Structure 1
Amino acid sequence: MAFGAKAAELEAQGHHVVKLNIGEPDFGAPPDVLLAMQNLAITSPLPYTSALGLPELRAAIAGFYKTAHNLDINPNRVIVTAGASAALLLLSAAFVDAGDNVIMGDPSYPCNRQFIKSFGGDVQLAPTTAESRFQLNMALLEKHWQKGTRGLMLATPSNPTGTAVSPDELRAMCEFAKSRGAWRIIDEIYLNLHHGEPDYQPVTALSFDDEALVINSFSKYFGMTGWRLGWCVVPEQAVPIMERMAQNYYICPSTLAQKAALACFTPASIAVCESRRAMLKSRKELILKGLKRCDLHVPVQPDGAFYVYIDVRPTGLSAMDFCERAIQEAHVALTPGNDFGEHQGDHYVRLSFASAESELTEGLQRLERFMQRLKNT
């Protein structure tokens, strides 16, 4: 957030800042969704919905699991939320008790651990490395498991690295945690933004762990960040508990966003989202080639999402210093790894390639000149 504020300050002074720090797709909602929203705003009274979400949207999300993952999900298990953050809020309130030890990988999305801590959980960050693709694996899980461990939380693909856990490794970890009576929260908001071939079918944790607590969102694959709409899939016995909490925390998700989101699942909208997924994969290749020219090392290539995690140790600068100098001297905004964890965070910088290709090209050119100046000093 600090470098976002610095970017805004520089822009207010008239500078063009290339913002490669923002984890937000530049393409927005599919056209069918925008048209639906416009029509609804004019013609519909938009009353409250059920706290669990519109039944037809819950059914559409369940249908998406069938088409995208070849998995049959009972729509009653789908809970529509006010963004993926609200899904994590409900899950944390329902499953975290004071003193519970919860294992997460380091680095990881920082807000996730704050939800756990808000309900008295004891977050244990398990250090990961490039060798583990900056993800938890069975060896790390067994090493860091404690007597008081009650939960496991991970994201695949992840923010800040874009790396994914293999289905076999994820299955093994889920089975390990389940056998010890621990819950599993799996953040899959980037799952459908994989970098595989068009016919590749990403594997959701629900395909082998029916009791996993899975979070997803309309923000990333569907490009609807500001609409604040997400969902989670939970065991049926947890639904009444989640419903009561949703009623009290936020009444219901936005009715306008929910009704418009039904248009996300039309063939035309899915085709648009798939073309954008392919665009992100192309941007990744552009970024990796450009960073190589800059002599900036990405130790692990991402499997999905729109991030690369750069090792800045060869520059002789810390992550914070690198980001500070990049924004002041090159007007390129990046995010230091310190934002995502405690273990070696000062060695890495996250770059987001969610911006337009023209911005990415300009940013790479600026970074190349910046790196040349660093070498000459």
Structure 2
Amino acid sequence: MKHKYISKRYWKSHKNAMGQSDVIAKSYDDVINLSLGDPDINTPKPIIDAALAAAYQGHTKYTAFQGDPELIGAICKFYKEEYDMNISAEQVFVCSSATVGMHVVLESILDDGDEVILQTPYFTPYPQQVKLSRGVPVELPTYEEDEFQINADRLESLITERTKALVINTPNNPTGSCLHFDTMKKIAALAEKYDLIVIADDIYTDYSYENPFIPFASLPGMWERTITLNSFSKGFNMTGWRVGQIIAPEYLIDVFKDVNENICFTTPSISQRGAIYALEHRHELQPTLIEEYRTRVYYAAERINKISGMHVLYPPKGTFYLFPSIKETGKNSEEVADLMLREAHVLVLPGNAFGTCGEGYIRIACTVSLEKLKEAFDRIEKMEIFR
């Protein structure tokens, strides 16, 4: 909207399909919402109880600017136990979600005009976040026939003298793909060759179904040039708690702390106490959650491949998303998403919301029960374009 009191940067709307999905979901009374990665399962009760008890104990004030020391200690212990990585407290920053963390990171590392290569399809806020920090987003397309792996030659062809960083996301939102270890080694070699920072968005690491997750920062020579983002939102169903973490060399953490003080000061103290409990009891809390989403996503993939005009080429690798092709329908992703809403009352996101190479696909979030998924696919398979 053009208005003298609005920054010219926002005269042109930056709204995207994900940001508008909550409004669209209200279009019909019986909509089955498969658009957002906000699980239907509540945060495990023991986490809520622990946070409530902490609030009554007085944990209702600002924490240390870098984060609650107990949470930082729990994060360091987690990385040692799970990945044998020796991370010190000075190398951890607690942020108010990984989304805020990404803004803090980009604001801290980018100069005007620096280019950031984005593994595409990407999480929809990435490009605008780069622009808000005065950087230039550059799409690195990946393709279904390659299992959405990053092609090293394609990556190298996009690197210029202004390239500052590369954002990778594995397991990936929206495709559900996971980078192969050989692919990661090739990315690491290019990062070293061209002196790039790698920003690893690790938010879905708990949902790596085929192979154990390997942190990019653990690869030889990558610690000094990797910034790792993670969050409690997906692994513990804590989307509304808004607590995440950044792992990076100490000199970067100092800058993140300075930048964050001008954004939100500190991450909510009560949320941090809940996160401590979550990490310390993850082996009790997570297995049933992970198995539930695995069951859902495999069921959805099976149903998709029985519908004419829609398919996924390979079994689910990770996350609770599927990115089925709808190219055989002859319609674009926005048209198909619109038809699904109007005819089947099922809300999905069009693939082009996730970058140029997302056209021809839709994203389905398996964040509703199996019963609801069954009803959604029963409705979809009756649509004219899929018959």
Unaligned runs of 5+ in 2: 1-17
Q: 1:89-128 to 2 correspondence within 5 Å?
A: 89-128=103-142
**TM-score normalised by structure 1 residue count:** 0.92
Shift in CA distance, 3/245, structure 1 to aligned 2, threshold 3 Å = closer
Counterpart of 2:286, as a letter, is C
Following the alignment from structure 1 to structure 2, what is the Cα–Cα distance between the partners of residues 147 and 302?
37
Which of 331, 336, 344 matches 1:330? 344
Shift in CA distance, 57/375, structure 1 to aligned 2, threshold 3 Å = closer
**TM-score normalised by structure 2 residue count:** 0.90
Counterpart of 2:198, as a letter, is R
Q: 1:1-377 to 2 correspondence within 5 Å?
A: 1=18, 2-10=20-28, 15-44=29-58, 46-196=60-210, 201-208=212-219, 209-211=222-224, 212-267=226-281, 269-295=282-308, 296-343=310-357, 345-370=358-383, 373-374=384-385
Following the alignment from structure 2 to structure 1, what is the Cα–Cα distance between the partners of residues 105 and 216?
16
CA-to-partner distance for each residue in 1:31-77, whole Å, 9 max, x for gaps? 22111122233342511111110111011011111222232221221
- 2:13 aligned residue: none
Counterpart of 1:282, as a letter, is T
Q: CA deviation at 1:315?
A: 1.3
8 Å contact from structure 1 (residues 78, 232) kept in 2: yes
Following the alignment from structure 2 to structure 1, what is the Cα–Cα distance between the partners of residues 213 and 359?
32
Counterpart of 2:287, as a letter, is E
8 Å contact from structure 2 (residues 59, 269) kept in 1: no
User: After the TM superposition, which parts of structure 1 deviate over 4 Å for at least 4 consecutive aligned residues?
Assistant: none
CA-to-partner distance for each residue in 1:291-348, whole Å, 9 max, x for gaps? 12223211344321111111111112211111111111111111001111123x3311
Following the alignment from structure 1 to structure 2, what is the Cα–Cα distance between the partners of residues 130 and 265?
34
- 2:4 aligned residue: none
Q: CA deviation at 1:26?
A: 2.0
Q: Mean Cα displacement is larger for which, 221-230 or 298-307?
A: 298-307
Counterpart of 2:345, as a letter, is H
Following the alignment from structure 1 to structure 2, what is the Cα–Cα distance between the partners of residues 168 and 375?
38
Following the alignment from structure 1 to structure 2, what is the Cα–Cα distance between the partners of residues 30 and 266?
13
CA-to-partner distance for each residue in 1:262-298, whole Å, 9 max, x for gaps? 110233x432212211111111211111112223211
Following the alignment from structure 2 to structure 1, what is the Cα–Cα distance between the partners of residues 316 and 160?
30
Aligned length: 365
Counterpart of 1:294, as a letter, is I
- Aligned partner of residue 248 in structure 1, secondary structure: coil
8 Å contact from structure 2 (residues 120, 354) kept in 1: yes
Following the alignment from structure 1 to structure 2, what is the Cα–Cα distance between the partners of residues 95 and 232?
14
- Aligned partner of residue 75 in structure 2, secondary structure: helix
